[in-house]
Structure 1
Amino acid sequence: ASPTEPPSAEPMEPAGGAPRGNGGGEALLGELEALVRDVERASSWWERHGVDCAILALSLLALPAGFLCLRSENVLVLGLGITILGVCHYTLTVKGSWSKVWELFFVEVCSAFSAEYAHYGHVKLHHGYTNVLGLGDSSTWRLPCLNRFVYMFLAPLSIPVITPLVAVERLRRVELRSAVRTLGLISLGLYAHYWLLRSVSGFRSPGSALLCMLTTRSLLAHPYLHVNIFQHIGLPMFSRDKKPRRIHMMSLGVLNLPRLPLLDWAFGHSLISCHVEHHLFPRLSDNMCLKVKPVVSGFLHEKQLPYNEDSYLARFRLFLSRYEEFMVQTPPITELVGLQ
């Protein structure tokens, strides 16, 4: 799709101020990459990969405890089981990505979505064209037909239902072999979740098991939807033919939220407090994004480039007050003189 510029739209002000001149965007990025490589070389395997692997392993190991807690008639224990399964679900589906086989497990079996489209939408579009209007501008999260209160408070609850439906709709666009595999793995994941609730947790009726599935899979749906819009929408947007250099694109169009323990565990630092670092260096593990954060923030500040940060509550209030502008109307393209 070709992005279109809305007529008579006022340019959106760059968050944190626009960089002064292009400053040799490729040279700046190369200089930052060298600093980050130095940090990587000085880091142990545990820091580079082990911490993330341990979190995923602990999440997998915690699943039996969650299912067994749901057997209890005690409300507190029942709530604990739902919390364990809900947090583990988001940890595995958001943070999980190793080899191709594990990607299929985390994305298709656990998330009930297509691995091909997840990779295409996240890596090819969103990372390749961050905040480029019509491509990587997070527009998949915009639902102009909904008002602000429905979108912010009720719509997240539908994510577990919408996700497999969208995946199935997109299967017609892939080759038959991939479509059959994806449909099979999604069905396996959903049925396995249902079967475990009936067989291990002891749910007697299909309705109660399905309701529990929806509850656990939507436990953190509100912050998941919110952070996906808070960190890009409302920041500068670019046209495909006039987008700035990569370092400017990421420093202007990406925002970090403060560290939040529960979301750090379930979503990872890359999605919460180190989203700028994740966009600049997507190959880095979640823990390494946190480790290079001081280097990246210090470098961007030194070079007088924006390093966007804001609180969850402040962004929530901003979106409620400017919902029409951000989520309904077509955002204007930011004009950055000297960067194209």
Structure 2
Amino acid sequence: MPGALPSVCTSFTAEYAKYGHVKMHHGYTNVLGLGDSSTWRLPCLNRYVYMFLAPFLIPIITPLVAVERLREVELRTALRTLGLISLGLYSQYWLLLNVSGFRSPGSALACMLITRSLLAHPYLHVNIFQHIGLPMFSPDKKPRRIHMMSLGVLNLPRLPVLDWAFGHSLISCHVEHHLFPRLSDNMCLKVKPVVSRFLHEKQLPYNEDSYLARFRLFLQRYEEFMVQTPPITELVGLQ
């Protein structure tokens, strides 16, 4: 069944993932109003609530947002997605009660929440660290793809736990992933030195920074990055 696996694993339909991530985020990286990662901004929260507490809500909010987005899809797709979301959640719940030995529904539900929250903090942080705070572009004057990707994407260093959980494409090879979205995780890692060398030879930025440095930067400049409208970057003569 096309789209079944994404619906079980992420709650979002394959169609929505393709449109939101592949078409918009990759096609219009850091273009305001299109692929600018603005969905991660919650101006109503202060920096400490957002960076430390909000990630705990991701396992709860994600299915709710996915269900809300079903208003925009065909009835057949909506029913399929609801069924698969329910199947995924109930399967874990059933296994915890009947295989893992949990004695009460409450303890099983608590375990589901905890296990789904284990990597919520780095998941949220990585998604904002690698785009927000970098140059943003106007839809009317977006630069060529090579400039858009080199300026608007950042790599984090290799971290074993995050590499295992999210893959090289999201962590240490995000620039490569945006330039070559069809490459596998392993191939992104292999072409990383080539991409870095090419961008440096062309005197284009190859953005890299540590997780801790980005974390400190976002705490210091949270209002600028996550609340205020970001300034537009114009590349004179390069569009």
Structure 2 length as normaliser, TM-score?
A: 0.96
CA contact (8 A) 1:127 1:136 kept: yes
* Pairwise CA distance, 1:113: 2.4
Matched, 1:216 2:141: no
* Pairwise CA distance, 1:188: 0.4
Q: Encode CA deviations 1:276-318: one digit per residue, 9 max, x unaligned.
A: 0000000000110000000000000011010000000000000
4+ residue runs of structure 1 moved beyond 4 angstroms? none
* Pairwise CA distance, 1:335: 1.6
SS of the equivalent of 2:225 reads helix
Q: Encode CA deviations 1:50-107: one digit per residue, 9 max, x unaligned.
A: xxxxxxxxxxxxxxxxxxxxxxxxxxxxxxxxxxxxxxxxxxxxxxxxxxxxxxxxxx
* Pairwise CA distance, 1:110: 2.0
* Pairwise CA distance, 1:112: 2.2
Q: Encode CA deviations 1:29-57: one digit per residue, 9 max, x unaligned.
A: xxxxxxxxxxxxxxxxxxxxxxxxxxxxx
Once residues 231 and 13 of structure 2 are traced to their aligned partners in structure 1, the CA distance between those partners, rounded to angstroms, is 31
* Pairwise CA distance, 1:181: 0.4
Match of 1:160 among 44, 56, 59: 59
Once residues 249 and 163 of structure 1 are traced to their aligned partners in structure 2, the CA distance between those partners, rounded to angstroms, is 29
* Pairwise CA distance, 1:141: 0.5
The two structures, once aligned, show a CA RMSD in angstroms of 0.6
Once residues 9 and 194 of structure 2 are traced to their aligned partners in structure 1, the CA distance between those partners, rounded to angstroms, is 34
Once residues 228 and 211 of structure 2 are traced to their aligned partners in structure 1, the CA distance between those partners, rounded to angstroms, is 23
CA contact (8 A) 1:112 1:190 kept: no
1:288 matched residue in structure 2: 187
Once residues 224 and 215 of structure 2 are traced to their aligned partners in structure 1, the CA distance between those partners, rounded to angstroms, is 14
Q: How many residues align?
A: 232
Structure 1 length as normaliser, TM-score?
A: 0.68
* Pairwise CA distance, 1:183: 0.6
Q: Encode CA deviations 1:176-202: one digit per residue, 9 max, x unaligned.
A: 010010110011000001101111111
Once residues 113 and 245 of structure 1 are traced to their aligned partners in structure 2, the CA distance between those partners, rounded to angstroms, is 30
Q: What are the ranges of 5 or more consecutive residues in structure 2 without an aligned counterpart?
A: 1-7
CA contact (8 A) 1:198 1:209 kept: yes
* Pairwise CA distance, 1:173: 0.8
* Pairwise CA distance, 1:150: 0.3
Q: Encode CA deviations 1:220-249: one digit per residue, 9 max, x unaligned.
A: 000000000000000000011100000000
Once residues 333 and 312 of structure 1 are traced to their aligned partners in structure 2, the CA distance between those partners, rounded to angstroms, is 25
Paired-residue identity, %? 91
CA contact (8 A) 1:160 1:214 kept: yes
* Pairwise CA distance, 1:336: 1.2
Q: What are the ranges of 5 or more consecutive residues in structure 1 without an aligned counterpart?
A: 1-108
Once residues 9 and 233 of structure 2 are traced to their aligned partners in structure 1, the CA distance between those partners, rounded to angstroms, is 38
